[in-house]
Amino acid sequence: MTGASIYLNTPLSEADARSLQVGDEVYLSGRVLAMCYPWQFIKMLDLRRAGKPLPIEMQGGVVYHCPASYVESEQGYRIRFVGATTSSKFNQWTPALIREFGIRGVIGKGGMDLRTLDAFRECGAVYFAAVGGCSALYTKGVASVVREIWPQPSRSDNVLELELRGFGPLLVAMDSHGRSLYEDVRRSSVQRLNEMLRALVKIDTPS
**Could you say which residues in the range 146-185 bind another protein, by CB under 8 A?**
153-156, 169, 171, 173, 181-182, 184-185
Minimum CB separation from another protein for residue 82, in Å? 6
Report if residue 99 touches another protein, rule: CB under 8 A. Answer: no
Q: Is the torsion defined by CA of 79, 85, 87, 90 positive or negative? A: negative
Report if residue 23 touches another protein, rule: CB under 8 A. Answer: yes
Q: Which burial class, exposed, middle or buried, applies to 138 when counting CB atoms under 10 A from its CB (0-12, 13-18, 19+)?
A: buried
CB 139 within 8 A of CB 66: no
Report if residue 66 touches another protein, rule: CB under 8 A. Answer: yes
- Of the candidates 27, 28, 35, 23, the residue with the CA atom closest to the CA atom of residue 11: 28
Report if residue 21 touches another protein, rule: CB under 8 A. Answer: no
Q: Going residue by residue from 104 to 123, which x/- string records binding to another protein, judged by CB under 8 A? A: -----xxx------------
CB 111 within 8 A of CB 9: no
**Distance of alpha carbon 113 from alpha carbon 22, whole angstroms:** 15
Report if residue 88 touches another protein, rule: CB under 8 A. Answer: yes
Residues binding another protein (CB under 8 A): 1-2, 23, 66-71, 80-83, 85-86, 88, 109-111, 129, 131-137, 139, 153-156, 169, 171, 173, 181-182, 184-186, 188-190, 192-193, 196-197, 200-201, 203-205
